A and B are shown apart, each in its own frame.
Chain A
Amino acid sequence: MEITSRDRFWMNNKLFQLFRFVVLNLKILKAVDHSKRA
């Protein structure tokens, strides 16, 4: 695996990162949803 210049572009593209921010939060919420019901 290599971090390419294309990867670097997307890693700092604000709009794409906003989308990833939402996705990452959804992932965390899915995991803690189970925990909150424990």
Chain B
Amino acid sequence: MARIVVVGAGFAGHTAALYLGDKLGSGHTVTVVNRSDRFVYIPSLVWVGIDRMDPEKTRFPLSDVYAKFGIRFVQGQVTEVHPDEQYVSGQTEDGTDQDFRLDYDYLLLATGPKLDFAATPGLGPSAGNSWSICTPPHAMEARNHYVEAVERMRRGERQRLAIGTGHGAATCQGAALEYISNVHKDLVRRGVRDKADLVYLSNEPALGDFGIDGLVVNSRGKRTSSADFIEAVFRDYGIEAQTGRAVTGVEPGRAAWEHLDGTRGETPFDFAMLIPRFTGVDMQYLDKDGNDVSAALVNPARLVKVDGRYGLPYDELRKDPDAWPAVYQNPTYANVFAAGIAFAPPGPISRPQQTPSGLPVAPAPPRTGMVAGIIGRIVALNIVDLVTRGRMTHAERMTEMAAACIASMGDSLWDGAAAVIMVYPVVPDHRRYPNEDGRDAFVTHMEMGLAGAWMKRMIHTTFMHKLQGRIGWKIIPE
């Protein structure tokens, strides 16, 4: 009988848990540990943040789903991993505050990110200067402050809304883009758009970079870059873009930044939603004598090392698709895997840059949503393989993986719109696609229109169906 522990129940951990529960049956034990007792469909929090969706529609209880699959659920936080003795320990967070210990044969760390607001002084809801839409409570707080700004506009006051990233190494620019587009549409709908100045403040070297070095598509016989595309959208929406900026501090009403060219400045605002840097969560990794063995498991950002080739210079990494991890297995502890934000990518996809003073302005590779779900499935199927036949048969690198970002730009199914941005593969593979961009020219695509709004709603509905393990869940792609 194998004991599998999954830490985290986001896209990666929850997807993995469903496959493990489905494939392994009652002869084995699958246990999921998660701080919240509910799954959160994070992509829809952009709608919560503008008061267009009830937060409850983005969540469902995990225990009901796990009961169907014979999965044990512990609501709590893992604080220690003991890879030699093969157990994790922590405290429950279901109101009982009890210590727990879970022994494992296989461990999947799918913790998601630590929202590292502290890396930027004054950033984030606890400092009270800027808001975030990364969790339901954050999105609700952002919504409340956004609605207050709208009220001020209704009274005739002009408001400046800054939306983007709050650190030079932040990721998830797609969420910021989606939020600012939705804010624009929402202000139009509320009849106060003429009272608002919208500013997109980002660490991307250029608009449309998204941490994947942007994309280029052939459209009507000419090549169009994501930078041109997003610039056109911003011009149309009247959004000011401030890119290539590492936010260095946030104070009431202003965000200080340093630009790639070394200039320093401030962006004043009345409302700000700035996404923090993501790092790995704080857990201790201890051997049997209580010594710290974190160097074998995590990198300095506390992201779990897996089977990628780390330390390659950017240009070498770009030429070598095999440097990207395939099975997401820790090289030192072969029964420890990582998925989603929790695994350490071997390097950036966008060329890393820094300001003359040495401040990194380097968007990190996105590992959320579709990418996280796919990795969760790959790891789960490999653990099933290891349990049942002793060897792994599944592999998928980010150089083989597709990702779709559907940036909602108005949620109405009649006159809404969304920018559909699809890349395949996420990390360019110049060996397999010997074109200029290293990507599949049919799938890699971007367009804006009503069809995107339908896609966005369809994906919300089908994913909520899939992730609740309802009939036909396996045929719905991650």
Binding site for B on A (CB under 8 A): 1-3, 10-12, 14, 17-18, 20-21, 24-25, 27-32, 34-36, 38
Contacts and interface: CB of A to CB of B under 8 A. Distances in A.
Given A2-B235, A30-B443, 19 more contacts: A3-B233, A11-B417, A11-B448, A11-B449, A12-B415, A17-B450, A21-B455, A24-B422, A27-B422, A28-B402, A28-B422, A28-B477, A30-B424, A31-B404, A31-B424, A31-B440, A35-B401, A36-B477, A38-B395
Interface residues of B, number: 36
B232 A32 contact: no
Nearest to A36: B477
B396 A27 contact: no
Contact of A31 (B228, B378, B443): B443
Contacts, number: 79
Contact of B451 (A24, A28, A38): A24
A3 B440 CA distance: 25
B454 interface: yes
* Interface residues of chain B: helix, strand, loop or mixed (majority): mixed
A36 B378 CA distance: 9
B450 A11 contact: yes
A38 B396 contact: yes
B394 A38 contact: yes
Contacts of B443: 27-28, 30-31
Contacts of B445: 24, 27
Nearest to A8: B236
Interface string B211-231: 000000000000010001101
- Of A10, A21, A25, A31, chain B has the most CB atoms within 10 Å of the CB of A31
B454 A30 contact: no
A17 B401 contact: no
B374 A24 contact: no
B31 to A, nearest CB: 26
A31 B426 CA distance: 11
A14 B450 CA distance: 8
B442 to A, nearest CB: 7
Given A31-B424, A32-B477, A17 B228 contact: no
B478 interface: yes
A2 B231 CA distance: 9
B320 interface: no
B400 interface: yes
Contacts of B231: 1
21 contacts: A1-B224, A1-B228, A1-B232, A2-B232, A2-B235, A3-B236, A10-B449, A11-B449, A11-B450, A21-B454, A24-B447, A24-B451, A25-B455, A27-B443, A27-B445, A30-B442, A31-B404, A31-B422, A35-B401, A38-B395, A38-B400
